């Protein structure tokens, strides 16, 4: 079988520490005010990998992994409804991501989940993937590209560079230069994001859309109650009803007889 028709196996490894910062930026400080859509992002990675490696039209398998920067909350007796960690896990599961939580030994350390390096290397070592896509900006992973190269697996780095004001404090978020230099391929995702604003009419979105967008000052339930109250104030009959001697309302036929 031709190599162009063989399955392209893509390993997509997402650094949750970086994604948390990226989502915070786009949700609070960017004009989009939206979070990244995991399913759409995975689809973009699939299509871009085919194009990058010259494998358009071939079947693609994307093995997607999300590395959470925090430890899984397993000591709660009754998890609170709508817990953010649970919602995130459900969104990732629906998009086809396997979630990896940080180790309990690193619970006090703020930073990326370093299990990603060994897991990614093992996928390459056992020839489970043809290319690895890493979404991260962290220099902690700068040793990974060289290790993958020894196994004949190229790495595509999805990095982010942006700046914004948090109050009066300027914030600069940059992709680590060493990680970028070591990677075989690099994509500036802040430029890609500008091509896919969150609109309902777009063929492709990278960001989540609100389910039922409403003006900030609207209240559907209040409007409904106002209509109900207004209907109660309206006269129930346009003309005075006609009642018989026994107090019952006459039928239209009897009413004509007087």
Token pair, residue 105, equals 């030994």
How much is the pLDDT for 213? 47
CB atoms within 10 A of CB 147: 16
Q: Which CATH class for the 8-194 domain? A: alpha beta
Distance CA 160, CA 137 (A): 6
- The two most distant CA atoms of the chain are separated, in Å, by 104
* Joined tokens for residue 238: 């346009």
Q: Tell me, what's the pLDDT at 9?
A: 97
Phi and psi dihedrals of 134, rounded to 5? Answer: -115, 125
pLDDT of residue 75: 46
Q: How many beta carbons lie within 10 A of that of residue 136, not counting itself?
A: 27
Residue 245 is encoded by which pair of tokens? 């001697």
H or E segment to which residue 117 belongs? helix 115-125
Distance in angstroms (rounded) separating the CA atoms of residues 148 and 9: 15
User: What CA–CA distance (Å, rounded) separates 173 from 159?
Assistant: 10
CB count within 10 Å of CB 160 equals: 23
Contact criterion met (CB below 8 Å) for 128 and 9: yes
| Confidence at residue 14, expressed as pLDDT on a 0 to 100 scale | 98
Phi–psi pair at 165, nearest 5 degrees: -105, 125
DSSP code of 114? T
Q: What is the pLDDT of residue 71?
A: 87
DSSP for 186-250, written as a single string:
EEEHHHHHHTS---TT-S--SB---SS---TT--HHHHHHHHHHHHHHS-S-SSPPPB-TTSPBP
Q: So what's the pLDDT on residue 250?
A: 55
12 contacts: CB under 8 Å, gap ≥ 6: 42, 45, 62, 63, 64, 65, 133, 135
Kindly report, as residue ranges, where domains of CATH 3.40.50.1010 are found in the chain. Answer: 8-194
All residue ranges of the chain with pLDDT < 70 are 1-5, 73-83, 106-110, 210-222, 224-225, 228-229, 231-258
Tokens linked to 173: 């978020």
Q: What is the reported pLDDT for 104?
A: 77
Residue 27's pLDDT is 95
């Amino acid at each position: 079988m031709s190599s162009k028709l063989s399955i392209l196996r893509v390993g997509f490894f997402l650094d949750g520490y970086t994604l948390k910062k990226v989502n915070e930026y786009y949700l609070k400080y960017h004009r989009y005010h939206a979070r990244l859509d995991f399913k759409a992002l995975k689809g973009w990675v699939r299509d871009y990998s085919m194009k990058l490696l010259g494998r358009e039209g071939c079947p693609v398998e994307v093995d997607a992994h999300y590395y959470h920067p925090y430890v899984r909350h397993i000591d709660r007796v009754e998890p609170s409804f709508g817990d953010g960690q649970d919602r995130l896990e459900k969104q990732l599961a629906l998009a086809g991501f396997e979630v990896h939580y940080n180790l309990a030994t690193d619970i006090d350390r703020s930073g990326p989940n370093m299990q990603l390096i060994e897991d990614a290397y093992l996928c390459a070592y056992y020839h489970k993937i043809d290319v690895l896509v890493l979404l991260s900006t962290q220099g902690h992973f700068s040793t990974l590209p060289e290790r993958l190269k020894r196994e004949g697996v190229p790495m595509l780095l999805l990095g982010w560079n942006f700046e914004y004001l948090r109050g009066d404090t300027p914030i600069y978020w940059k992709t680590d230069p060493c990680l970028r230099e070591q990677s075989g391929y690099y994509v500036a995702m802040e430029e890609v994001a500008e091509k896919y604003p969150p609109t309902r009419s777009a063929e492709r979105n990278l960001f989540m859309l609100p389910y039922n967008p409403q003006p900030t000052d609207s209240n559907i339930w209040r409007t409904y109650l106002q209509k109900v109250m207004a209907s109660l104030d309206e006269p129930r009959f346009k003309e005075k009803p006609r009642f018989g001697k026994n107090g019952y309302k006459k039928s239209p036929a009897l009413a004509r007889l007087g």
